[in-house]
Amino acid sequence: MARVVLERLTKVFCGPKGRPIRAVRDLSLAVEDKELLVLAGPSGCGKTTTLRLIAGLEHPTSGTISIDGKAVNDVPAKDRDVAMVFQNLALYPHMTACENMAFGLRARKHSKAEISGRIEEVAATLDLTDSLDRSPAELSGGQRQRVALGRAVVLRPKLLLLDEPLSNLDAPLRARMRLELLRLHARFGTTMIYVTHDQIDAMTLGQRIALLKSGEWQQIAGPLALYRQPANLFVAGFFGSPPMNLFHGKLMRKDDVLFFEENSDTKAKPSAEARLAPFLLQIPTTIASRLSAFVGRSLIIGIRPEDILISSSTTKGTVKAILERTEMLGPESHLHLTTGAHDFVIRCSNAEDSVAGDRHQMQRELHLLLNLDRMRFFDPVNGAAIS
């Protein structure tokens, strides 16, 4: 298969009035052999440009692209042994599914027997055997997607590139196609680079995820590490639905104990302003040592919605908040609360918490317990996580 290495890769386009547009900025990355790596990020962050540079459809302004130890900057796309699946699928409408899948093999002068054998194998894997004689117009959206995948896979490329191939599918079909892709990767072991702006695609498919913003890496890690240990505020906000809750405040020391005091100068809601004072949260001693440089300074704490629990008592360490509205989502609910200075969300099970299922308890004051072991801390100046 293929190991792909990007070294200080940069791509600058010429924009309106000759203004340079830097789409990719000094990227370095190694994609291991047989790995399924996801390039994720918002629209315009440079992920598709990066994919096109690897495929040979764009030429880098600077930097090196290597496949299996060989620099391919000057190698034409057709000679890189790379296959790509585009967002719009680009199937030939006048050809059957079988003919679409055979097109690349015929262009490479494979024998009829080999073409037939490869198509039969891939069609069986993708559940397309009974659809090979149909034109794209006669196929469902999911079948057309699988034909596009099959057309790339039958080439047995060193590297398979996928540019948001599921973005035009509805939610149930998209979920099914994610499983198909994972089966395909397990079956053929092809090195894959998958581009998406969708966090569910990224978290479900990626063995590792490389998150981009404005053409620069923000963090490259496994899905759980990105979720639990985001490198900065951008990563914390990109992954998670609802995203990580963020509270601005100041770190204070009292009698050798560190406390986080919530800011009170943000715009408070009238309903909460008169009822709630800024909360004070004691920082565990296991965490305090790495925060010592921030004593007396501003700090941002982040915590995931599932790591905040409703407490039945007013024990020390609880935080007061006012329940504003509830989103019922079947087995769980999202409770939208405010401390007065901050709005935030918690996730709870309807089966375990009576508050979640009672829509008549709005504007009720709740006491909350924060899982301090899961809390993250960020520098408000540069947004970086404090480790």
What secondary structure does DSSP assign to 93-146, as a single string? TTS-HHHHHHHHHHHTT--HHHHHHHHHHHHHHTT-GGGTTS-GGGS-HHHHHH
Residue 18 pLDDT > 70: yes
Give residue 89's pLDDT band: very low, low, confident or very high (50, 70, 90): confident
What's the pLDDT tens digit per position in 48-71? 999 999 999 999 999 999 999 999
Same fold, 4-238 and 245-378: no
Tokens of 50: 């990066």
What's the pLDDT tens digit per position in 36-51? 999 999 999 999 999 9
Residue 307 pLDDT > 90: yes
Q: Are strands 343-349 and 332-338 parallel, antiparallel or unpaired?
A: antiparallel
Just give the CATH number of 245-378.
Answer: 2.40.50.140
Residue 355 pLDDT > 70: no
Which has more confidence, 168 or 181?
181
Burial 184-213 (b: 16+ CB within 10 A, else e): bbeebebbbbbbbbbbebbbbbbebbbbbb
Task: For residues 253-259, give the mean pLDDT.
Answer: 89
C-alpha to C-alpha distance for 50 and 58, rounded to whole angstroms: 9
Contact status, residue 50 vs residue 63, Cβ threshold 8 Å? no
Contact status, residue 248 vs residue 281, Cβ threshold 8 Å? no
Give residue 271's pLDDT band: very low, low, confident or very high (50, 70, 90): low
Task: For residues 312-330, give the mean pLDDT.
Answer: 84
Query: For residue 291, how many other CB atoms are within 10 A of its CB?
Result: 16
Give residue 361's pLDDT band: very low, low, confident or very high (50, 70, 90): low
Instruction: Tell me what pLDDT residue 383 has.
Output: 95
In CATH terms, is domain 4-238 a member of 3.40.50.880? no
Highest mean pLDDT among 194-203, 259-268, 308-317 belongs to 194-203
Q: Which amino acid is at 137?
A: A
Contact status, residue 29 vs residue 210, Cβ threshold 8 Å? yes
Task: For residues 198-207, give the mean pLDDT.
Answer: 95
Which has more confidence, 134 or 171?
134
Which position has the token pair 């408000």? 380
Give residue 351's pLDDT band: very low, low, confident or very high (50, 70, 90): low
Could you tell me the residue ranges of all domains in the chain? Answer: 4-238, 245-378
Q: What are the helix (H) ranges across 126-269?
A: 141-153, 171-188, 199-205, 223-228, 233-238
